[in-house]
Amino acid sequence: MKSYLLVPKESIETQARVGPRGTQQGERVLPRTTALRFTVANRAPDTLSLLGLRSATLPGPRPPVSGQEARKRVAKGSKVKRPTTRGADATTPPLPGAPVSEQTGSEAGSFRFMPLIGATMAHFYSDATEAEARGELAADFEFIPDVVPLSFPGPVSAGQSGPRNRGMSSLAEREWPEESGVPLAHAQGIRGAGVLLGVLDTGVDADHPEHAARVIQFRYVSLFPNSPHNPARDIRGFDPDGHGTHVCGIAAGTHHGVAPEVDLYVASVIESETIRTSLGRVAAGMEWLLHQFSSPQNVTRPAVVNLSLGFPLKPPPGISEADYRLNQRALQTMIRRLLDSNVLPVVAAGNSGPDTVGYPAAFDESLAVGAVDFERNVAHFSASGVVERRVVPDVMGYGVNVYSSTERRCNNQAFYERMSGTSMAAPYVAGIAALYRCRAPDLTALEVRDLILANAVKLPRSGGHRTGKGLAVFR
């Protein structure tokens, strides 16, 4: 099986123009719509359906195209062969120790149309079908192989960043310093209410004391999220790793969060065993977030998305430079869709130190976040640098020995832990963004970004580290 993300070429090259906002009375209306539509995106699912690929598009199969029938695979008058499976179907028991493989049927492949990010994920079970699809669509679509792994920034060891003590209870008070503006915001009743906060990570433990008081909209994005045989599921939030639970606790935890009253939407897209994910899974998670954010009750509400994940700095072994660049461009297109939809993307810069800028932090559309400790010292691991005249990071956040929620034991005993990394700094800044959006919900995502940068506390450059506009604070 070969998997590709089909993205319209015009969508990759062109940024959607935000339509006119406001009324004669001056009221600003901020629905999640854009003036420029990439209508060619609809061609991909129609063509793939005609080629015999099975649709996994929710809530159900795509209706047949009017006046067209699926192409026949056999010549007229010839004997029809009994279909054979091209993989493990639903009735095939897995062999012990066998690698995980997608369950497939007798169809030529499968696909999922993701209209909100303007892309289609396609799985081809034969080279012949792929060749036919390319013949029909290659002029208008990039076929982006889903081969480059994404992961959250590399872990920071305890010895490098100080003690990683664990606790079984929340602290008496939040640790955010006065200069952060978080205590001031909370004293004024600004706690994130009315703001949508999306998180793409390993998941969230919805029953941890830090999160149990709210309803968390949660989607588990499976290893094969775009297959009709392995659908993604909306279930009670869980997190087999703890990274996502820690991130959510920093941004929105009841006892420790910067913005504890946001509405939290979490997509589990990263496996705990490999700490890896794919472009297809991130695309499925992002499509789900935009679908939730665009529902009638949410369509005009301000939103922020935290992405503590990214591509490796260089193409992994066995991945060509061309395929690597295609994956990058596709991810940039998806992040651009967030901005087009009035959603602010906040991204971890990475943990590889100076001159190691990765993606998506290096994209202009991202608000890239580096890490400092609570004394404003730049963390030695915080990534920074210049990519095509873009300076990364844009801003800094607290990311050294930050206390937040992790996992629970079998006896329901909950744990907290201090962790370090730009993965921790990003949700702090996402929380700050949520406070600004709570105070002024009529501001656009770009206006909130500018506000964060304008109000940042300036920091001196530390050795080879760049610090952007400084430490993000609420003012």
Q: pLDDT tens-digit profile of 128-143?
A: 999 999 999 999 999 9
pLDDT on residue 149? 81
More confident position, 108 or 61: 108
3-state SS, residue 303:
strand
Identify the top-confidence range among 102-111, 331-340, 455-464: 331-340
More confident position, 336 or 99: 336
Do the beta carbons of residue 218 and residue 237 sit within 8 Å?
yes
Pairing of strands 395-398, 367-372: parallel
Active site residue: 3, 55, 278, 423, which one? 423
pLDDT on residue 36? 44
148-152, 226-230, 351-355: segment of lowest average pLDDT: 226-230
Do the beta carbons of residue 168 and residue 416 sit within 8 Å?
yes
More confident position, 321 or 88: 321
Write out the two tokens for 396: 């800094």
Active site residue: 123, 186, 229, 243, which one? 243
The predicted model gives 234-243 an average pLDDT of 90
pLDDT at 467 over 60: yes
Q: For 344-355, what is each residue's pLDDT tens digit?
A: 999 999 999 999
pLDDT at 436 over 60: yes
Residue 243 falls in the annotated catalytic set: yes
pLDDT on residue 256? 92
pLDDT at 115 over 50: yes
pLDDT bracket for residue 27 (50, 70, 90): very low
Phi, psi values for residue 158, rounded to 5°: -60, -40
102-106, 190-194, 426-430: segment of lowest average pLDDT: 102-106
The predicted model gives 187-201 an average pLDDT of 97
CA dist., res. 424 & res. 249, Å (int)? 10
pLDDT bracket for residue 207 (50, 70, 90): very high
Residue 323 falls in the annotated catalytic set: no
What's the half-sphere exposure (Cβ side, CA atoms, 13 Å) at 430? Answer: 37
More confident position, 429 or 8: 429
pLDDT on residue 40? 83
Q: Which helix (H) or strand (E) covers residue 288, if one does?
A: helix 279-293
Identify the top-confidence range among 5-9, 32-36, 56-60: 5-9
Closest among 94, 474, 80, 435 to 252, alpha carbons compared: 435
3-state SS, residue 316:
coil
Residue 55 falls in the annotated catalytic set: no
More confident position, 161 or 374: 374
Question: Helix axis angle, 422-439 relative to 445-455, nearest 10°?
Answer: 110
pLDDT on residue 472? 98
Cα angle 138-277-48, degrees, rounded to a multiple of 5: 30
Do the beta carbons of residue 307 and residue 359 sit within 8 Å?
no
The predicted model gives 189-193 an average pLDDT of 98
pLDDT bracket for residue 100 (50, 70, 90): low
| DSSP line for 368-392 | EEEEE-TT-PBPTT--BEEETTEEE
pLDDT on residue 230? 67
The mean pLDDT value of the chain amounts to 83
The predicted model gives 363-380 an average pLDDT of 95
pLDDT bracket for residue 37 (50, 70, 90): low
pLDDT at 338 over 90: yes
Phi, psi values for residue 413, rounded to 5°: -75, 125
| DSSP line for 237-277 | ---SSSHHHHHHHHHH-TTT-SSTTSEEEEEE-S-TTT--B
100-104, 148-152, 189-193, 452-456: segment of lowest average pLDDT: 100-104
Active site residue: 146, 180, 201, 420, which one? 201
46-60, 356-370, 456-470: segment of lowest average pLDDT: 46-60
pLDDT on residue 184? 96
54-58, 89-93, 279-283: segment of lowest average pLDDT: 89-93
Do the beta carbons of residue 7 and residue 325 sit within 8 Å?
no
Q: For 254-305, what is each residue's pLDDT tens digit?
A: 999 999 999 999 999 987 656 667 888 899 999 999 999 988 899 899 999 9
Pairing of strands 2-8, 119-124: antiparallel
pLDDT at 63 over 50: no
CA dist., res. 280 & res. 121, Å (int)? 7
